[in-house]
Every structure is written in C-alpha cells, then in structure tokens.
Chains A and B, each alone.
Chain A
C-alpha cells in the first residue's frame, strides 16, 4: 500500500467516524443556558439588545436553508448597488486592525433610511497579496454637521461572510453575501444568500436570509485546462457549471503535488497581468455561476521560483479554496502561481489573470491637492543592470515653487501597442535603499527603478504606465518581448537607485 492509498483510507475512515458524531441539538441549548448569566468582558456600551430568541430564529432559518436539498432552481436577481453619486465618501480615518501582510479595503457602500433618519453603510475587510481575506465588516454612519459619525456595526470580520452587494432600503439593508465558513457537518463553505436586514430607530435589527446558491461541487463542474488565447506563458483553468442549478465558487484554486519529490503547494497571488477584476480590487469577488456559465483562473509558471530544468511530469492536485477537490492535472513544472477565479466573458478568456495590484504609492504627488501642471513625469535612459536585467527610471520632477511628497512601491503596468494590459510589475523593495517618503522640489526629483529581462513571457511591450493619485500616466517605452517586470521604491534622485 502506498502513501496515496493510506491517505485515501484515512479520509474514508474519518468520514465514517464523523458520521457517528452526536447531534449538537441538546448541546446548543446547554451551552446557551450555561452562559446566560455569565458577564461578557468588553461588552459594547451601545444598544446591543437583540433578543437571543430572535437571533436564534434567524439563524435557524439560515441553517434550515443550508440543510435543504441542493435544488435552488430559481434565483433572485443580484442586489444592485445604490448610485454612487448620492453616497458620501466613506470616512478616511476608519481603520481596521489588519494583519501585517494585509491591506484594508473599502468595499460596497449604500445609504438606507430608518425612523431616526438616513444612515450610510460601508463594507470593509482586510486582504493579502495571496488572495486571502477576512470576512466583511459592515459599519454604519450618520451625517452630523457634515461629517460621517459612527453609528453601529452590523457584521464582524470574524464571521467569514463576504459581501457581494449591498442595497439600502426603507428600513434596512438587502445584502447578498458569500459565507466562506464551513457548512454543517464539515461541508465546504460557499453558500450565497440574500439577507434582508430590518433596522429600527433604536438600532435593533433582525435579519432573514434566503439561500441563492450552494457551493459548486466537483460533480457540478466541467473542469478543463486550456492555453490562454494570447502569447503568454499562462494556462487557464476553466470551470463550467454543467449542473441544472446555480452554484458558487471563489478565490484562488490550490494546486499541490502529490509526488514526494515535488511536495508543496503552488504560490497564490491576486496581482496579475490582466482581466477579471476591476482596478483597485484587492480580492477576487465570489462568483455565482448560473447553469452553463464559466469561471476561469490563470495558472502560470512562477518566474520567481527556481528554474524547472529536468522537472518531470508530476500529477498536480487541484482544489478550490473551500476544499472542493477538482481532480488532477499534468504539468511539467515544479513552481506554479495560482491566480483567482474570475468570470469568463469579462476578458478572462484572453486575459484570464486578475488585475488587483496594491496601489502602494503614497504621498501628495499626483493627488488633487497637488497642482499637477507644476510637476513632470518622465523616464530615464535604458540601462543594463546586473543579472542580465534591463531597466529605466520613472522620474517625478517639480517646476515652479511647489513641492510634493512621494514614497512606497509604485503601481506600474506594461501595455501593448493597442493599450492593452500585458503585465503588472512585481513590487519589490531594493535592499539597502531607504523606503520612506521623498520630498520632490525644483532640482530634487524622485525616481523609481523599473526593470525586466528579455524573454518570451509576454508580447512586445510598448508603454509603461504609472498609476498615481488615481490616474494612469503612460510613458512610451519599448520593452520588446519581456519577462519578470519589477518595480522598486521611490528614492531621491533621477536614477531610481539612490
């Protein structure tokens, strides 16, 4: 018996054991009784008094819906977001305690009315460059003297629910959410529900959830791997819902090698050359796949990994982020990058990768508070760098008497002759150089080094584009066919290397 057979038997045995686990019906009541008189530390000093019975009823509805047979043939339409112009900008000083490698994201926003007046609800979450994220947090605010003041929280990040859309109603909110937490009895997470939240003037709320779609299982999906319709190194994992009902998928598929010699899991990232995600989205949205619809995820050789010389074919196990096993693929590389699932038909066939680079440039240069006509963006001369790399500097200079500050790792993209996105530069600090803010003033420019290698990873690059202050600034720059585009931090001077 080999390792795989042992593992298979272990899984079977654990599933068999799990079937004998007791029901939690009695235990639920026992636990809730036991804590009824126990004080909770750091209890919020606000109006949190929703009766437990109401909460339990709401949850019971949700659980009952979860346990229903997987036969939700009809689906309500996705909630449409409120018109953006009527919504004030979310409070800029609202900070989550994101983990070190994560970045705060402001997601959906809407306004709703209750007896006490108009309220504004915003979704926040924390996302990491590998595509992982926290659950959504929904905080509500009211306008007082022209400022948004915190009113109450409606959803906490620890609940692992991702808001897909949020619409304000008269008396509350209509939220479409993806529940990433494990289902009952260890079933994969991924239930999509529409939740109608009724909120009264005192801030008490009740919610009723209606299931929209269950997570896609392997039996619901036709799995294919195809080459991308463009001359890149990417392959595309395509998942088509061939069942008769809608189902949900989300996130970066996981690829792992069963072969001991190549044991490990593919690196996952969200950033990628093109397609699928809107600029600024730091995490892939959950996808509701109607029957016949397809989701795609790019798979690429990892240009940052070791070379794959003599790397033998090795079965590659593909699994969705929620643990649903898709099967095995053959792939002759030892180092892969997994990109998230995005909706086909949104450019994902030609450009299957996601577009979600962190906009890490900071400072006042290029923002609305800066008089942009007093600053100039330019590129330095092309030069050869150590390691066979080719590079140029992106330079920010000042004219007149103005100054501005800039720092961090810029968001740089390579475009083809038609202005189509080819690649997003990997942001990599140069060791030994400062990483702080640089003040740009007349005679004192700031610059960031962009470098790449010659190769056939991408078609001819014609333009480098720098995103600054919400706008993209293009520089005519022939890259030829290239690989491994990188950008480094802004530093003083015009060479990008201090």
Chain B
C-alpha cells in the first residue's frame, strides 16, 4: 500500500478551518446543548489529530470525522448510563414502537427533542444530512435493518397519540 504523502498537519489545520462550523452543527443537533457540542467536537478533533494520516486515507475525511463524532456521542451516553452494553445491543436500543395516531407540529417538536440518542442520531443523519440507510448503518455501526428501524420508530413515536409519547431518553432494550 502506498503511503499517502500529504502534509497531514497542514491538512488537519485546513480541515479544522473549513469544517468546524459544519461539524459543530452536527454536534449541536445530537446534543442539543451548545457547550456540550463544543466539548464533544473538540474531544473528537484532538483525539483524531495524532492519527490524521489514517483519516486522509479514508474516502471522505469529513464523513469519517462525522462518523467518529456520532460514535463518541453515543459512547458518552453509554458511559453516562453506566451500562456495559455491547454495540449490537446499543444498535437495537430504541423507544416503544407506536404505529398510529394524530399529532401536530408541537408534538413532533417535543418528541424530536426527547428521542433516545440513537434514534436521534439516525434522524439527524437521515433528515439533515440525507444519509442513505447504508450510510446511517455504517455511522452507527449497526445493520441496515436496524438503521431503518431506528428511523421508523422515531417517526412512529412522533405520530403517536400525545399520551403515548415516550418520555425517557434512554430507550428500551428489546
């Protein structure tokens, strides 16, 4: 394999200059907290710097970093809840599966704000970044069917009757 000959430190600086705003938007959409978003992105970029040549070897440096951002966000949740869950289980974590109901914009807004982290990450990647099912599955390190399921559950919960809206943020393990 040919080593990618690029001034990696220069590219890192360019990348930070160019993509920080966009990645900070991703972080904010995930965390919904400005300080937490800044902390999350800073942690990711600083952690990735020593291995930046690996990032350069990826097809898309931005997609690679965004995927790392999502992973770190989800891992933080894992540490926060203290659960020692294997990744596959985390993939399956989600809210109850509601299938019908009448809702309005306020309800969608409220449910969107309270989605479990994994569902929220999937929704952000699909509806803000137009990721395909496969790209979402790659980013969340889960199967494509699981990615679809996460989005489907998120949408279903938004359309559920108000009284049935899940209130927790940790989701349920199946």
Interface residues of A (CB under 8 A from B): 1, 3, 6-7, 9-11, 13-15, 17-18, 20-24, 27-28, 30-32, 34-35, 38-44, 46, 48-50, 52, 55-56, 58-60, 62-63, 94-97, 99, 126, 134-135, 137, 139, 150, 152-160, 181-186, 265, 319, 323
Contact = CB atoms under 8 A, between A and B. Distances in A.
A24 B24 contact: yes
B38 A22 contact: yes
Contacts of A135: 59-60
Contacts of B59: 99, 126, 134-135, 157-158, 160
A158 B155 CA distance: 34
A158 B1 CA distance: 16
Interface of B: 1-14, 16-25, 27-29, 32, 34, 37-38, 41-42, 45-46, 49-53, 55-62, 64, 102-105, 108-109, 112, 123-124, 127-130, 132, 155, 158-159
A34 B60 CA distance: 24
A32 B124 CA distance: 27
Interface of A is mostly: mixed
B57 A42 contact: no
Given A10-B123, A158-B58, A44 B112 contact: no
B80 to A, nearest CB: 21
19 contacts: A1-B102, A10-B112, A13-B109, A14-B124, A14-B128, A17-B32, A22-B24, A28-B17, A31-B46, A32-B13, A38-B50, A40-B53, A41-B50, A62-B18, A154-B6, A157-B4, A158-B57, A185-B22, A185-B25
Among A3, A22, A97, A135: residue with most chain B CB under 10 A? A22
A11 B104 contact: no
A9 B108 contact: yes
Contacts of A95: 2
A308 B3 CA distance: 48
Question: Which 7 A-B pairs rank lowest in CB-CB distance, beginning with the nearest?
Answer: A153-B5, A24-B20, A48-B7, A21-B28, A158-B61, A156-B6, A59-B17
Contacts, number: 207
Contacts of B1: 97
B6 A22 contact: no
Given A1-B102, A13-B108, A31-B45, A158 B2 contact: no
